[in-house]
A and B are shown apart, each in its own frame.
Chain A
Amino acid sequence: MADATLQHDAVGHGTPGAYEAPLFGAYSKKVGMWLFLASDSLTFGALLVAFSYNRIYTAWPTPFHVASITNATIMTGCLLSSSLTMVMAVFAAQRGDRSWTRNWLLATMAFGTAFIVLHGMEWSKLIGEGLTLPIFPKPAHAAAGELADISKNTPQFPATFFGLTAMHMLHVTIGVIYLGVVAFRKWFLPVLGVLWVVGFALIPSDNVFHYGIHVLLIALIVATVILVLKPKDYDAEDVEVSGLYWHFVDLVWMFIFPLVYLMSTKIM
């Protein structure tokens, strides 16, 4: 295990020698990812504290209808299923089955993409019904109604809702791209490019995602740089580490779903 540490991380530096056994026998990349997740959980923790803080000190509206909750439940189902397929991908990678690793990763990405698309549609619907922040582009027929009143009277509600879910959606998007790079390496780049162009063309300009889609462009640039600087075949350890990230993103949703949706529902 100690030798594995050296081969993977201190690449090209010195010759492998005897090292103390690492903590829990974990290789460096895995320790690094765990540490990143620890700090990221504090980042999300601070956002959840901000949400709770506002919620406690404000008369909190409960506007979510059956339709919203159903949609969010389906999204939750997508993420839970994606965790299962991710586990299968890690198993496949560990027994050296490359094609099934790729298939399971693809399934995970499909569930993740479904989550993002469902979430994006829901955002657009809520914005159309009047749940907005001042900077959002005004949809053609912005409705007056309960959600519009909430945005006016309790700006904390849309602020925390969009803030938390945007941060999470960003993490899921990065996750899907991360898995795509691990599974398909440079062949994933054109797919990402096409998704960006098509998305930009299809999403109308009065939709908030017309600008949000540029996240894909940034990701495309970053992924290209990484793949050019360090072209390598991703192995079972890489798949496992990406799995850690993916499960963490799912876990965060398990906090957001009850706190943001279930506790703000009309359904009793």
Chain B
Amino acid sequence: MATPASVHAHAPQGFIRKYIFSLDHKVIGIQYYFLALSAVFVGMLLSILMRVHMIWPTASLPLLGEIKPETYLALMTMHGTIMVFFVLTTAPQGGFGNYVLPIQIGAPDMAFPVLNMLSFWTTFVAYMVMLAAFFVVGGAPLHGWTGYPPLSAIPSAGPGEGLGADLWITSIAIFCIASLMGALNFITTTLDLRAKGMTMMRMPLTVWSWFITAILGLLAFGVLLSAGILLLMDRNLGTSFYVPTTMVNGVMTWHKGGSPLLWQHLFWFFGHPEVYIAILPGMGVASQVLSTFSRKPIFGYRAMVYAMLSIGFFGFMVWGHHMFMSGMSPYSAFAFSLLTMCIGVPSAIKTFNWLGTMYKGRIRFSTPMLYAIGFVSLFVSGGLSGPFLAQPVLDIQLHDTAFVPAHFHLIMGVAAIFGIFSATYYWFPKMFGRMMNETLGRIHFFITLAGTYAIFMPMHYAGMAGQTRRYSQFTEVAFLQKLIPLNTFITWAAIITVSAQFIFVINLFWSMFKGPKASDNPWESTTLEWTTATPPPHDNFGGVTPVVNHGPYEYGVPGAAKDYVMQTDPPTGTSH
């Protein structure tokens, strides 16, 4: 592709403008990605410490010594928060969305490049503030990633609830602002900067998923911001929005008349869409990859779009299903339960379409494809327990057991992570100009898939057998004695699975410098990012704006010269 020199002339020179405070969406996307990569290792380390503590509660660990019960709660809080905000929200949307979305719609950059840079650096500040909570007096907070008051609202309620909790809430508030800036940018870019011919219904499903995720983020994070501000006021300005008349450690607090339920409503009004913020980009990537590697058009493109839109829509109406235990009115529980079941319909449509896409395809089992299939597998396994938990009667039994962590780890945790892995293996050649190692990729995939199921499947049964969640230890509880071998197995599975992630990291960094050079379109994909150079020039298309003539997934078109038709190929007349 011709690249006029004039275009490169205004690409930024100098290390700082080029790699640190860059306005280029591609650099910002990679920055987001590495922030998430560092966060995911912190999060995994915390989870391993928790698993070890559950099985060997009195073990003395190097550097840390014996983990105290309150430390366990702090580990749990920080594991959840870091994973949800700085990994599952950051990597798929901030990372890949930033890098790929403008290229896939034929734009030279995001609509607001400066805002884009600000949103990354604001996220970075939020991450640093969050990590700082480990190192202050009292340590990290104990209130879980959901931060329920009164525990989270009263500084004297526990060791981490002083400065640690203030830092935690501040970090969340900063993160909200960063996400709002990002979401605004994504939506504007998608609406205003599509190349000629890139109509809404020709956008790749990845673009649709980032677009819908951004809408969810735009509407959800504002509410969390408000909720967080009120919580900070309760802690520091002497209000009592969330705290009723209450007693802490035998001392009456001066709080009066607030309602902890208010926080739960506000938090979950954000919290449920947040689940979809984590998983929707994974759905987009799975659709893209399954279609590409099955060499078939995606089955039911429009149905996929409408399914994602309705998942986003219903996502805002089901927050109450996290609160069946809260003493909420059973009539609202009924409504929330019914609406929650409704989400099963679009989810099933999507699964059906993914399977339909693969059916009779000429499947190429490259690593991105394996991870996309793994995504579908985990989405189904984790999703099937959703309708269980959507029923208040069953939920009340299962809610505070290990069943719920098993459910949400499978679906929003690991399924979303599989989406990220699939995206990494798929777009790595475009991002770094080199191919990743396939053998290491496959080894990594099979260990991770087996490990994931080994960790989380038994947790369902442990939950049904009555093993509580959030408790730091259960080895002394008589009726749970029989579950100790199962939990030991889970802990070992977790240790092995986490260790296997180093294969991925080695593959990532080794391939970045030593991998074989990638061609412009190594996967023979059809979307716009594969029409440009590898890695793409500063303005993505070297001074020209592509013209789109085809839908995003025209594989195996009868009568075409190749088995795929690029979106920019000349129109064929029969194409829609």
Contact = CB atoms under 8 A, between A and B. Distances in A.
A14 B543 contact: yes
B226 A47 contact: yes
A218 interface: no
Given A20-B197, A35-B187, A50-B241, A43 B112 contact: no
B68 to A, nearest CB: 33
Given A28-B112, A50-B266, A156-B257, A12 B10 contact: yes
Contacts of A135: 236-238
A267 interface: no
A137 interface: no
A27 B192 contact: yes
Contacts of A133: 237-239
A18 B196 contact: yes
Given A10-B111, A43-B225, A54-B257, A15 B543 contact: yes
Interface in A22-65: 22-23, 26-28, 31-32, 35-36, 38-47, 49-50, 53-54, 57-58
Interface in A72-131: none
B257 A31 contact: no
Contact of B222 (A28, A46, A49, A57): A46
Interface centre among B184, B192, B193, B255 (most CB of A within 10 A): B192
B193 A53 contact: no
Contacts of A212: none
B546 to A, nearest CB: 8
B113 A13 contact: yes
Interface string B210-241: 00000000111111011101100100111111
B241 A159 contact: yes
A17 B240 contact: no
Interface in B225-273: 225-227, 229-230, 233, 236-241, 254-259, 262, 265-266, 269
Contact of A50 (B184, B191, B226): B226
Nearest to A43: B222
Contact of A20 (B184, B198, B222): B198
Contacts of B554: none
A155 interface: yes
A55 to B, nearest CB: 11
B358 interface: no
A35 B222 CA distance: 12
Contact of B262 (A13, A19, A43, A54): A54
Interface in B23-78: none
A134 interface: yes
A49 B538 CA distance: 46
Interface string A206-248: 0000000000000000000000000000000000000000000
A133 B229 CA distance: 16
Contacts of A204: none
Interface in A171-215: none
Contacts of A58: 257
Interface string B260-297: 00100110010000000000000000000000000000
A5 B183 contact: no
Interface centre among A10, A27, A31, A135 (most CB of B within 10 A): A10
Given A10-B193, A14-B545, A46-B227, A28 B266 contact: no
Interface of A: 5-6, 9-10, 12-20, 22-23, 26-28, 31-32, 35-36, 38-47, 49-50, 53-54, 57-58, 133-135, 154-156, 158-160, 163, 167
14 contacts: A6-B193, A9-B192, A14-B540, A18-B545, A20-B194, A20-B195, A32-B184, A36-B184, A39-B184, A46-B266, A49-B266, A134-B254, A155-B257, A163-B241
